[in-house]
Amino acid sequence: MNTAPKTYAIRVDGHLDDHWSAWLGELNMTRNDDGTTTITTQIADQAQLHGLVVGLRDIGAVITELRTTDAPASAARPPQTSAWSTR
CATH of the domain at 43: 3.30.70.980
Q: What is the model's pLDDT at position 73?
A: 60
Q: What pLDDT is stored for residue 74 in this prediction?
A: 59
pLDDT score of 10 more than 80: yes
Domain assignment of residue 40, yes or no: yes
Residues of the domain holding 24? 6-69
| Better-predicted residue by pLDDT, 12 or 4 | 12
Spatial distance between the Cα atoms of 11 and 14, rounded to a whole number of angstroms: 9
DSSP element (H, E) containing 19: helix 19-24
Does some domain include residue 31? yes
Neighbour order of strands in the sheet with 6-13: 28-31, 36-43, 6-13, 63-69
Between CA 55 and CA 35 the distance in angstroms is: 20
- Report the number of distinct structural domains present in the chain: 1
Smallest CA-to-CA distance from 69 within 29, 33, 41, 46 is with: 41
Is 76 domain-assigned? Answer: no
Tell me the three-class secondary structure of 37-70, residue by residue: EEEEEEECCHHHHHHHHHHHHHCCCCEEEEEEEC
Q: Is residue 82 part of a domain?
A: no
Q: Is 74 within the bounds of a domain? A: no
pLDDT at 25: 84
User: How high does pLDDT run on average in the chain?
Assistant: 83
Per-residue pLDDT at 84 exceeds 80: no
CA 68, CA 87: separation in Å to the nearest integer?
19
Q: Encode pLDDT of 21-41 as tens digits.
A: 888 887 999 999 999 999 999
